[in-house]
Amino acid sequence: MLFSDAKDEALQIHEKALNKYNVTVAAVQEKGEALYLLRQQSIRKIEDIEALINCISKTPREMNKSLAHVKTKRQKFLKTEEYAIKAYEATIKAGVGAAVGVAGGVAAAGVTPAAAMWVATTFGKASTGKAISELSGVARKNAAHAFLGRGVLAAGGKGVKGGEELLKKAAPIGLGIAALALLGSGVVIGGKNKIVANKAIKEAEKILTTEAKLSEAGQIIVHIQNETDLLLERIDKQFADAELLKGKKYSKMTSYEQLLLGTLVNNTQALAELLNKTVE
């Protein structure tokens, strides 16, 4: 058949590209979930440290300023979590099932509260490009409706409409190609095969481009996780020593104890910064 071999080869290329993309999606999802769990652990540790410092009287002004900054960063992270829940609820109200296929990007790997949490805190921006934690009112509601459908890399900048469009796509990217391949028959089979082949190759190129960007995002996630892990391990040791200072006056502490407390606060501030570090 005319162009039949070209069509078959193109569809094989498309299938391989889609399989590679799906593997990367699963890998990034696993990394994102691990980072989110680590950040939850970080939040708990930050709260413990805030409580400890509040039990120490007459702490220096600079230390109190640092703690205020830590609180702001912690609250910013919690706002993003709140946003993620609203985004999840919006997808349920829109009638989207638990799995909306590959078309929506990483978020579509499984639209659950947990998935919403790690996607929102890892990628951290609405479709407008503005940080989630900075949104409020109607803008926050609209962005939440669009977020999960937007996915990580697909349809950025289309806002609510773009998000709704992707939410409705319940099939993998390749379904359109597969369906089109079944249409060719009779006299026009040559033309149909050529159309299928060309479209399959173009789609495969798009998928591989997205896969490469997604793979890079996965590497950045791992880097953030490693940074957080090392810092949290250091803080755990310092906190264990600093707990002995609970209830003391800062002015009555030894130079070593004051240094320990100051170092702990500085490291906590760095950890709070990492809470909201996102993948562009």
Backbone angles phi, psi at 22, to 5 degrees: -65, -40
The pTM is what? Answer: 0.73
pLDDT given at position 3: 56
Q: How many CA atoms lie within 13 A of 251 on its CB side?
A: 3
Closest CA to 144 of 185, 212, 90: 90
Could you give the C-alpha distances from 172 to 2, 52, 103, 168, 175, in angstroms and in order?
Answer: 28, 50, 6, 12, 6
Q: How confident is the model at residue 278 (pLDDT cuts 50, 70, 90)?
A: confident
Per-residue CA distances from 34 to 27, 49, 66, 231, 262 (Å) = 11, 23, 28, 16, 30
Among 101-105, 124-128, 241-245, 253-257, the least confident range? 101-105
Comparison of pLDDT for 63 and 197, the residue scoring more: 63
Radius of gyration (C-alpha) of the chain in whole angstroms: 25
- Predicted pLDDT of residue 65: 94
Cβ neighbours around 93 below 10 Å, total? 9
* Chain segment 12-43, per-residue pLDDT in tens: 888 888 888 878 878 888 898 899 999 999 99
The CA distance from 101 to 98, in Å, is: 9
Write down the domain spans for the chain.
Answer: 4-275
Specify the DSSP element, H or E, that contains 22. Answer: helix 4-54
245, 253 contact by CB (below 8 A):
yes
Q: What is the mean pLDDT of residues 174-203?
A: 57
Model confidence band, residue 94 (pLDDT cutoffs 50, 70, 90): low
SS3 131: strand
Task: Indicate the Cα dihedral angle 31, 32, 38, 41, nearest 10°.
Answer: -150
pLDDT on residue 266: 96
What is the length of the chain?
280
Per-residue model confidence (pLDDT) at position 262 = 96
pLDDT bin (cut points 50, 70, 90) of residue 136 is low
Classify residue 83 by burial, with Cβ atoms within 10 Å: 0-12, 13-18, 19+: buried
Distance (Å, whole) CA 171 – CA 108: 10
How far does the chain reach from its first CA to its final CA, in angstroms? 47
> What is the DSSP secondary structure assignment for residue 1, as one 8-state letter?
-
What are 97-124's pLDDT values in tens digits? Answer: 333 333 333 434 345 677 778 877 887 6
Indicate the DSSP class of residue 58. S
Distances (CA, A) of 119 to 6, 35, 83, 85, 190: 39, 10, 11, 11, 44
Top pLDDT among 156 and 59 is at 59
